[in-house]
Amino acid sequence: EWNEFRALDLDKVRGLMKAPVMIDLRNIYNPDDMAEAGFDYTCIGKSKVSAAN
């Protein structure tokens, strides 16, 4: 399910965004991986994770 979203080039996506904020309504991504990739990440049922510095 949602393989086209799982396969996103997150570095490219982050580079296209004015503010790298990702809200994941399907819990597709790992919060720690998203923070490491530079996103402020929120998903349903889990705590918000801020980008790693």
Q: CA-to-CA distance for 52 and 4, rounded, in angstroms?
A: 25
The domain spans of the chain are: 3-43
**pLDDT of 52 higher than 70:** no
Q: What is the pLDDT of residues 1-42, one digit of tens each?
A: 678 988 999 999 999 999 999 999 988 999 889 999 999 999
CA dihedral 5, 6, 10, 16 (to 10 degrees): 0
SS3 category, 4: helix
Q: Looking up tokens 């904020």, which residue turns up?
A: 21
pLDDT of the residue at 51? 74
Q: How far apart are the first and last CA of the chain?
A: 31
Do 7 and 25 contact (CB within 8 A), yes or no? Answer: no
Q: What is the pTM of this model?
A: 0.73
